[in-house]
Amino acid sequence: MELFTPDAGLLFWMVLSFGVVFLVLAKWGFPVITRMVDDRKRFIDQSLDAAREANEKLTDIKKQSETILAQAREEQAKILKEAADTRALLIEEARAEARTEGARLLSEARVQIQQEKEAALRDIRQQTAQIAIEVAEKIMRKSLTDERQHMELIERMVESEGPHPLPTSEE
Amino acid sequence: MRHHTNYLLTVILLLMMTLLPAHALASNSHSSGEMDVKEVIFEHLGDAYEWHIITWGNSHISLPLPIIVYSVESGWHTFLSSRLHHGHAYEGFHLATEGKYVGKVVETLPSGEVVRPLDISLTKVAAGILINSLLLVCIILGVSSWYKRREVTDKAPRGFVGAVEMLIVTVYDGIIKPSVGEDYKRYAPYLLTAFFFIFFSNLMGLVPFFPGGVNVTGNIAITLVLALCTFVAVNVFGTREYWREILWPDVPTWMKCPLPLMPVIELFGIFTKPFALTVRLLANIMAGHSVILALVCIIFITHSMGAVIGGSLTVVSVLFSIFMNCLELLVAFIQAYVFTMLSAVFIGMSRVKQHG
């Protein structure tokens, strides 16, 4: 039964060495390792959380950028449309202006032409009258002596000839 | 290529494990003629004052170990065990060859009376404990220094440190945290020390040559001290609720008063727990060592039965020894695991809080 009776000497050595081993390892051995393992676990968990957060942020940013892009595209379309509208408006305005300007110029030109025509006509009429007088003078010189009689005669004749009697010529 | 080398190395190591003791035993049996299996096994399982390393031919190579005894008559004595060889007496001490103290150091008093002095000799098992402790402390402190030199953000360890970390995490996360409960940090160093001490001693016991091969965890003094440590951890730091459940458990009153049936059973349970721890570890390791030794002994017993039977049984015995060694590797881990787990569970039970 020697195997089943604890020996006093062995008990002493075992208590001594196990005690020393326990004290040494409990102070400098296991706590260092378990703390590190726990810390590493926490660190990994944190890293995972951070990665997940970053991923979520990235997705958010992607979504945001997409909306921004869509908005920009919309804006662009709007601006383009506005530009086209403005252009059309401007063209329309310019056209209208041109039309009115043209009309004004035309009417002005017409008035001027009218005036010039009238001046020319008057001129012509005067010249004609002059020529006629001269002609008539030459003719009448032979028959009429009174110039005044000549003029009256001529004017009557001219009036019955010309389509537009000129007010200026009557004076 | 590296894998092949590793396999080869493993096979060679396993063969060495079985053949080295075989060689040692072979020379033993040659010198004494007949082989006493029982004596061989018991000599290995028990303790000795010298560390027998190998017998080569007829010369025994053994390490003499210091004998430290205290005599009530003449005080402390320290001398090497080689002084007591072949029945020699030294300073009134000699090794008993018969009687109650056979194999132990006894003192012959001036009156002629033979008594056993207080003996704290550094015996083979004691030396084994010291060597195992020293190696274990070196290993764990070496590993922990790896952590001291690094930051949390560094990579996890690989190789040997990684393997030790894996074991620590297995025990720490697998046993201590779930079994002990809230105060697991307080008990973790003790439980981890117990686990590694048992596991490492078991492994060293399986190494067949010096400085291994000592039956440390198969010795009752060692398992008793370990179990007593758990006993202290459980009962000294037990909560008030734990003691209430023992002394006044929640059972019908007639079971605890006037005859304290349940309290007696519970009190008895306090002592059966460490006893079970002691015997479980002791018996497992002792049985493993015995079976391996017995299988090796088969080689020498059948040696005299002729070449054919002897040869074939040698092959069988070597194969069985290899199998047993593998099994003992498993047992080395399992017993350390079981001891730690039960200790953790007992500690967890002693930390109970008020119900509700």
| Subunit contact A17:B130, Cβ cutoff 8 A | yes
Q: What does the H/E/C string look like for B265-282?
A: HHHHHHHHHHHHHHHHHH
Give the per-residue pLDDT at B151. Answer: 86
Give the tens place of pLDDT for each residue, B80-101: 888 888 778 888 888 888 778 8
Residues 6+ apart with CB under 8 A from B286: A3, B45, B215, B218
Nearest-CA distance B306 → chain A (Å): 35
Interface probe, candidates B45, B105, B180, B192, chain A, greatest A C-beta count within 10 A: B192
Question: Which chain A residues are within 8 Å of B226, Cβ to Cβ?
Answer: 18
A1 in contact with B at a CB cutoff of 8 Å? no
Q: Give the integer Cα–Cα distance in Å for B154 and A40.
A: 9
Which of B327, B222, B209, B348 is closest to B277 using CA atoms? Answer: B222
Tell me whether 0.90 is exceeded by the ipTM. no
Q: Give the integer Cα–Cα distance in Å for B321 and B293.
A: 8
Nearest-CA distance A54 → chain B (Å): 19
Separation in Å, CA B145 to CA A21, A33, B88, B131, B171: 16, 9, 49, 21, 20
Give the tens place of pLDDT for each residue, B286-338: 999 999 989 888 888 887 778 888 888 889 889 999 999 999 999 999 999 99
Percent of chain B past pLDDT 70, that is, above it, reads 91
Give the per-residue pLDDT at B25. Answer: 53
Residues linked to residue B79 through DSSP beta bridges, in sequence order: B67
| Subunit contact A18:B119, Cβ cutoff 8 A | no
Contact B216/B129 with Cβ under 8 angstroms?
Answer: yes
Question: Worst-scoring range by mean pLDDT, B5-14, B22-31, B292-301?
Answer: B22-31
Give the per-residue pLDDT at B31. Answer: 45
Query: Angle at the Cα of A132 (from A130 to A135), degrees rounded to 5?
Result: 110
Q: Please say if the pLDDT value at position A103 is more than 50.
A: yes
Q: Give the integer Cα–Cα distance in Å for B289 and B299.
A: 16
Q: Please say if the pLDDT value at position B128 is more than 80.
A: yes
Q: Give the integer Cα–Cα distance in Å for A31 and B349.
A: 23
Q: Where are the domains of chain A?
A: 32-159
pTM for this entry: 0.76
The residue with greater pLDDT, B284 or B41, is: B284
**Residue-by-residue DSSP string for A9-37:** HHHHHHHHHHHHHHHHIIIIIHHHHHHHH
- Report residue B8 CA to chain centroid gap: 29
Q: Please say if the pLDDT value at position B179 is more than 90.
A: yes
Residues linked to residue B61 through DSSP beta bridges, in sequence order: B54
Which of B26, B61, B36, B21 is closest to B293 using CA atoms? Answer: B21
Residue of B nearest to A46 (CA): B153
Give the per-residue pLDDT at A165. Answer: 52
| Subunit contact A9:B123, Cβ cutoff 8 A | yes
Rg (CA), chain B: 25
Give the per-residue pLDDT at A122. Answer: 84
| Subunit contact A25:B192, Cβ cutoff 8 A | yes
pLDDT band at residue B29 using 50, 70 and 90 as cut-offs: very low
Strand, helix or coil for residue B250: coil
- What H or E segment, with its residue span, contains residue B219? none
pLDDT band at residue B254 using 50, 70 and 90 as cut-offs: confident
| Subunit contact B172:A24, Cβ cutoff 8 A | no
Question: Which chain B residues are within 8 Å of A2, Cβ to Cβ?
Answer: 46, 103
Q: Please say if the pLDDT value at position A18 is more than 90.
A: yes
A87 in contact with B at a CB cutoff of 8 Å? no
Q: Please say if the pLDDT value at position A170 is more than 50.
A: no
The whole-number average pLDDT for the span B105-132 is: 88
pLDDT band at residue A169 using 50, 70 and 90 as cut-offs: very low
Q: Please say if the pLDDT value at position A142 is more than 70.
A: no
| Subunit contact B120:A2, Cβ cutoff 8 A | no
pLDDT band at residue B355 using 50, 70 and 90 as cut-offs: low
Question: Which chain B residues are within 8 Å of A50, Cβ to Cβ?
Answer: none
| Subunit contact B140:A36, Cβ cutoff 8 A | no
Nearest-CA distance A6 → chain B (Å): 4
| Subunit contact B140:A29, Cβ cutoff 8 A | yes
**Residue-by-residue DSSP string for B296-326:** HHHHHHGGGG-HHHHHHHHHHHHHHHHHHHH
Contact B17/B208 with Cβ under 8 angstroms?
Answer: yes
Q: Please say if the pLDDT value at position B175 is more than 90.
A: yes
First to last CA, chain B: 63
| Subunit contact A10:B172, Cβ cutoff 8 A | no
A94 in contact with B at a CB cutoff of 8 Å? no
Q: Give the integer Cα–Cα distance in Å for B103 and B95.
A: 6
Structure tokens at A42: 């926490």
Contact B121/B105 with Cβ under 8 angstroms?
Answer: yes
| B window 91-130, beta carbon within 8 A of A | 103, 118-123, 125-126, 129-130
Q: Give the integer Cα–Cα distance in Å for B281 and B274.
A: 11
pLDDT band at residue B27 using 50, 70 and 90 as cut-offs: very low
The residue with greater pLDDT, B19 or B65, is: B65
Contact A159/A165 with Cβ under 8 angstroms?
Answer: yes
Question: Worst-scoring range by mean pLDDT, A95-104, B54-63, B158-167, B236-245?
Answer: B54-63
Q: Give the integer Cα–Cα distance in Å for B212 and B132.
A: 8
Give the tens place of pLDDT for each residue, A25-83: 999 999 999 999 999 999 999 999 999 999 999 999 999 999 999 999 999 999 999 99
Contact B277/B227 with Cβ under 8 angstroms?
Answer: yes
Question: Which chain A residues are within 8 Å of B129, Cβ to Cβ?
Answer: 10, 13-14, 17-18
Contact B93/B105 with Cβ under 8 angstroms?
Answer: yes
The whole-number average pLDDT for the span A87-106 is: 92
Nearest-CA distance B274 → chain A (Å): 15
pLDDT band at residue B19 using 50, 70 and 90 as cut-offs: low
